[in-house]
Amino acid sequence: MNKCEWYRLRLYTIASLLSFQFCAANIEAQDTLSLKIQEAEKMFLQNNLSLLAAKYNIDANRALIRQAKLWDNPIISTDQNMYDQQGGFFKHDNNSGQVYVQIMQLIKTAGKKYKLAQLAQDNTTISAEQFDDIVRTLRYALVSDFFEIDHQLKLKRVYDSEIAQLQKLVKGMDAQLQAGNISVKDNMRVKALLFALQNELVNIEAAIIPVQNEIKLLLNNNESVFIKPSFSYYLPDLIKTELPSKAKLIQLAVENRPDAKIAKTQLDYQRHNLSYQKALAKPDISLGTEYDQRSSYSPNYVGLAVSFPLNILNKNQGSIASAQFNIKQQEVVLEAQNAKIVNDITTAVDKIKFYQHVNNPEQLDFSLQYDKLFQNMLNSYQQRQIGLLEFIDFTDAYKDSKLKLLDQHTALIRSLVELNFQVGKDIITINK
């Protein structure tokens, strides 16, 4: 190693150390709020602004149901003389003036009012199902973020453990360097390995920040705290978890998934709309009474008024045909939705079976043995039983293996969370 390379290596290690210390100090400065997933879900349902907005939409549609059931207001019409030569302005008595008054009430036929209320009820049901779908989607995001934070913290513990061991080694090597027992090159190589690990740890801690921000957004939490997931699960049990049959899972998904319910309710809405459009082809009747003081054949005439349109030219043909096509369209949409559910369940089940096969008890035992081996290799290097290059190679392999094992474990948990999401209810209990 020439002098220039040596200075570059020192500059890199110093910069890495400063970056690591800055990031670690920021995280440690935050207060920590430990939350179980059940506690987080309760806070989410109480505080999430998107859910509060969706609830108002349901209330707005419920109000339209009441509106659809109301009768139309009666209409009063009046006509009277304002001025004539005999009586002057507004002269009304037994011998002069004219007053005409009519009161009419619209009576809807063919059950239009009931059918319109049914459409409003369908819209309210759809709003409620859309609310459930928002809850389902955001809850999935919340649970996924919680397990992602848990995963990142486990990765961090791998680095923390390895960094702590290397820091002890570096401290001892500094003493050996001063005693002249090791070379500057070996000392700097180990420090470079340490600082490389610290840099990778900085990247992990940086990856936690956006996930934390999303969790706080979902919980509507503006406090300066670090939300730490608190889980209680036993991985070997999850590896051996038996799943219900695929047919049973598909049936549960069709019954429980809000998007499936929305598609079905929208088909009901289109069918009810066809019935309403056919009813609109029937003429409504306006019924009322009228009083005519002087212009009729008889003074102070009181009569019965009835009016209705002649259903000859416009029989609402276009709207009826449109409603029929909308039914056919929604039937296809419902069929596509059911096909999507089958595909979603199949994919989720396949993922779980794959990751259950990949994760096995032998790997868990291997992970524990690997930890002991790392400690042995560290002791062997300190006692100069192995060389520097062999120690660095093993350290890299140890880190990579631990990270891959954690990735596989988390992938299994994510697949179980995804199955619960695709079914629309918790089939697998992950957190006890």
Give the model confidence (pLDDT) of 305-317 as tens digits.
999 999 889 999 9
Cα–Cα distance, 41 to 145 (Å, whole number) = 12
pLDDT at 81: 82
Comparison of pLDDT for 164 and 91, the residue scoring more: 164
Looking at residue 397, its pLDDT comes to 82
pLDDT-derived band at 377 (thresholds 50, 70, 90) equals: confident
Residue of 272, 245, 249 whose CA lies nearest to 260: 249
**Model pTM score:** 0.81
C-alpha 270/C-alpha 324 separation (Å) is: 8
Q: Is the dihedral of CA 158, 160, 163, 168 positive or negative?
A: negative
Q: Are 212 and 224 in contact (CB under 8 A)?
A: no
User: 40 near 117, Cβ under 8 Å?
Assistant: no
> Where is pLDDT greater, at 95 or 318?
318
The pLDDT score that the predictor gives to residue 103 is 96
Q: Which residue has the higher pLDDT, 395 or 45?
A: 45
Q: Which H helix or E strand runs over 59?
A: helix 49-68
Give the per-residue pLDDT at 189: 83
What is the signed CA dihedral for 416, 417, 418, 421, rounded to 10 degrees? 130
Least confident of 81-95, 141-155, 276-290: 81-95
Most confident of 47-61, 112-126, 379-393: 112-126
* Least confident span in 132-136, 262-266, 292-296: 292-296
Residues 6+ apart with CB under 8 A from 222: 216
The closest alpha carbon to 215, from 156, 141, 136, belongs to 141
Per-residue pLDDT band for 25 (boundaries 50, 70, 90) equals very low
Closest listed residue to residue 112, CA positions, set 289, 268, 266, 285: 285
CA distance 166 to 197: 10
Instruction: Please state the rounded mean pLDDT for residues 417-423.
Output: 96
- The model's confidence at residue 367, banded by pLDDT at 50, 70 and 90, is low
Among residues of the chain, what percentage have pLDDT more than 70? 88
pLDDT at 27: 53
Q: What's the average model confidence in pLDDT over 318-333?
A: 97
Give, for 70, the enclosing helix (H) or strand (E): none
List the one residue out of 430, 422, 427 whose CA is nearest residue 140: 422
Mean pLDDT of 128-140: 94
Asked if 44 and 142 touch (Cβ cutoff 8 Å), the reply is yes
CA distances in angstroms from 368 to 194, 197, 231, 365, 402, listed in the order given: 22, 21, 21, 5, 10
Compute CA distances 327 → 112, 323, 360, whole Å.
Answer: 19, 6, 50
Nearest partner of 321 among 263, 291, 287, 277, judged by Cα: 277
Whether the per-residue pLDDT at 125 is higher than 90: the answer is yes
